[in-house]
Structure 1
Amino acid sequence: MKILRNLPRTKKLEGIFDVQRKMNPSFLSLLVLATSSLAFFALNVYQLSAWNASSRAIRSSQQVETSRIIHHVPIQMRRKTRGRLVQPGDFIYYKDDRRWDSAPIVIESHKLVFFTIPKVGCTVWKQLFRRMEGYSDWQDQDGERLLPHNPNENGLKYLYDYPIDKANEIMTSPKWTKAMMVREPKQRFLSAFLDKAVSNDHAHIMGKCCQFMEDPQQCVDSAQTASGFLNLIKTCEDDHWRAQNDRVDYKYWPYIDMVLHVEKAEEDAKRLLQKIGAWDEFGQTGWSKDHQSPIFGNAAKSAGDHATWSQWQVWKWYTPEVERQVEAFYRADYENPLFNFTTYECFTCVK
């Protein structure tokens, strides 16, 4: 057949027909049958692939992903989304009873949208918001009703409580303040480790991670060091140690107005509450046991009563190698310019 390539089209066809006439009829029949079978097989494979793709699309549209991978794009290079920002099924617009901190809390009276993050003072923020909404038991930490965290009990409004058009208005209007508080990643990791792996009879990691392992007790035992806990959370996701950069999908970052820091909790909280006109009434007094202190007046305790940060804990749990590994795990947090973390500040280096 190679000799036919340089012939005119009509000559090629004549040559092909000559070859076909010289073929054995039975061989030609087998060739036609084989060609037809191959075409039928290819058609079925294509239809099956299309059906599988369609099924995956339908399943993904009916449920929120339990594990999300955020591709980190430098925020300064992003632009605001054209058209409707909030879409049905977005992580921040979906009520998930397994993830209470997925959608942001909305305070209509002061036009505030706040994205709480576990291990970053979220208990105090929710107490504040319940106080602003007029609940007399705003200070309660009820173990039975799981206050103030349980969205089904705390009486707070979340973004998913609004129609999609209103949610878009809230998230895009400059009249609304969109804020969150973040924490230095290595400090937050250590807090999660001490509270969720070491303390409270290891109940959290047992229920969240280890009960599904072949040897649950071995799983718990191996997570009693910082390096062992780091290995565990690489395959066991949870909001208490998930990267803060994953708090919202990348399209929402240009709309975040204020990023506060737990290390400057009292100062930053005052700045936010003054901006929305809530400082004098709700932030300046009424906190701590004497009800006279400002919110986050004792910042270390208020930011997370589970595990107070101190230098001896750094040296007790971190080694230079583990510190570098934790930095790598939370690389996206350090690279997020809105967080303004000191890049790879060394805790275990000799000063």
Structure 2
Amino acid sequence: MKREQERRKQTLAAACQDLKSEPTSDYRHLLVNNKHQILFNFIPKVSCSTWKTIWRRLNSKNGELKMLLPHYRKDDARLMNYRKVLFVREPMSRLLSAYLSKFHSWTGTQRIWESRYGRAIVKRYRGVENPKLGGGGGKWLNITFIEFIKHITDLGSGIRINELNDHWLPQYKLSRPCHVKYDFIGHFENIAVEGPFVLRWLGINHFVRFPKYHSSNAKEHFGEYYESISPDLMRKLMDYYREDYKLFGYSPDDVMSLVQRGV
């Protein structure tokens, strides 16, 4: 694990030299525990709910009421002195996970996302003005995965972060890895091992435990959804997540190989 962490940090440091700039927007993804002096950067669709639950339990045991690092400043001493943890995920898998949970769940969550983004998507890619959203189990907009990808690549990443679009925005924009010097960089793909490990490494495994990991829907349906995406659109998507691939050591070639094999 130590050797792998060193490899990931070296990859990150090398990519940071080529990164022109990091986002300067307000920061809202750092969970803090002052008793154990830990900062944890959560990223939506990277076991985000699990990590928030773990932190809520840990803080409740310590009598800490606030989970988020308040009023983030780049000179906050805790950024230098606390141990800092980040978990990331292969970008294409994370994107598909966001689509399946937000546009393909047939729940109230899908209603929210269709209301917030679906109308604009339908207007732009279907030419339908003011599509109606049914309530109480009525009509769905049925946003397709291709439409979702087109919306993201056309919109671009230079937009203000909010609690919805952070589910698909590049992960480096949500974690600022070239500024925040993370002590542990975990990979979602190995979370069944790295999740429990990092709790032991932080010395908090006596207070909280990492739950049993269940395979994601995105992994099971990866080939099914991506095989229908045209090469041109895949190139645009790869370009959109270019920095994530470079910084966190994932391989676009490996992803394209999986898609071509229908895995």
Query: Alpha-carbon deviation of 1:267?
Result: 1.3
Is residue 330 of structure 1 aligned with residue 241 of structure 2? yes
Distance 1:258 1:216, change over 3 A: farther
Aligned CA-pair RMSD: 3.3
Contact residue 238 and residue 252 of structure 2 kept, 8 A: no
Q: Please say which structure displays the higher CA radius of gyration.
A: 1
The residue number in structure 1 matching 2:78 is: 170
Is residue 134 of structure 1 aligned with residue 64 of structure 2? no
Is residue 188 of structure 1 aligned with residue 99 of structure 2? no
Distance 1:349 1:105, change over 3 A: same
Q: Distance in 2 between matches of 1:179 and 1:334?
A: 19
The residue number in structure 2 matching 1:245 is: 172
1:215 to 121, 126, 129: 129
Query: Alpha-carbon deviation of 1:276?
Result: 1.5
Distance 1:117 1:73, change over 3 A: same
TM-score, normalized by length of structure 1? 0.54
Q: Distance in 2 between matches of 1:108 and 1:250?
A: 21
2:85 to 179, 194, 214: 179
Q: Distance in 2 between matches of 1:242 and 1:309?
A: 17
Unaligned runs of 5+ in 1: 1-71, 79-88, 93-101, 136-153, 284-294, 301-306
The residue number in structure 1 matching 2:106 is: 200
Query: Alpha-carbon deviation of 1:111?
Result: 1.0
Is residue 298 of structure 1 aligned with residue 213 of structure 2? yes
Is residue 348 of structure 1 aligned with residue 256 of structure 2? no
The residue number in structure 2 matching 1:232 is: 151
The residue number in structure 1 matching 2:136 is: none
Distance 1:329 1:119, change over 3 A: same
Contact residue 104 and residue 114 of structure 1 kept, 8 A: yes
Aligned pairs for 1:17-28 (under 5 A) are none
Query: Alpha-carbon deviation of 1:180?
Result: 1.3
Unaligned runs of 5+ in 2: 1-11, 19-23, 134-139, 160-164
Distance 1:248 1:309, change over 3 A: closer
Tell me how many residue pairs correspond in the alignment: 218
SS in 2 for 1:123: helix
User: Alpha-carbon deviations, 1:112-171, whole Å to 9, x = none?
Assistant: 101111111110101101111226xxxxxxxxxxxxxxxxxx943322258x59x62100
Query: Alpha-carbon deviation of 1:211?
Result: 4.2
Q: Tell me the amino acid that sits aligned with residue 213 of structure 2.
A: N
Q: Distance in 2 between matches of 1:310 and 1:210?
A: 25
User: Alpha-carbon deviations, 1:84-134, whole Å to 9, x = none?
Assistant: xxxxx8522xxxxxxxxx241111111110111111111010110111122
Distance 1:155 1:182, change over 3 A: same
Query: Alpha-carbon deviation of 1:325?
Result: 4.1
Q: Tell me the amino acid that sits aligned with residue 125 of structure 1.
A: W
Query: Alpha-carbon deviation of 1:245?
Result: 1.6
1:260 to 149, 162, 186: 186
Query: Alpha-carbon deviation of 1:310?
Result: 3.6
Query: Alpha-carbon deviation of 1:209?
Result: 1.6
The residue number in structure 1 matching 2:21 is: none
Query: Alpha-carbon deviation of 1:231?
Result: 0.9
The residue number in structure 2 matching 1:111 is: 37
Contact residue 42 and residue 86 of structure 2 kept, 8 A: yes
User: Alpha-carbon deviations, 1:274-321, whole Å to 9, x = none?
Assistant: 2211123312xxxxxxxxxxx142242xxxxxx52344x123211263
Higher RCO structure (Cα 8 Å, ≥6 apart): 2
The residue number in structure 2 matching 1:160 is: 70
Identical residues among aligned pairs (%): 20
Contact residue 87 and residue 188 of structure 2 kept, 8 A: yes
Distance 1:278 1:216, change over 3 A: farther
Distance 1:281 1:249, change over 3 A: closer
TM-score, normalized by length of structure 2? 0.70
Q: Distance in 1 between matches of 2:69 and 2:36?
A: 15
Query: Alpha-carbon deviation of 1:191?
Result: 0.7
Q: Distance in 2 between matches of 1:263 and 1:183?
A: 7
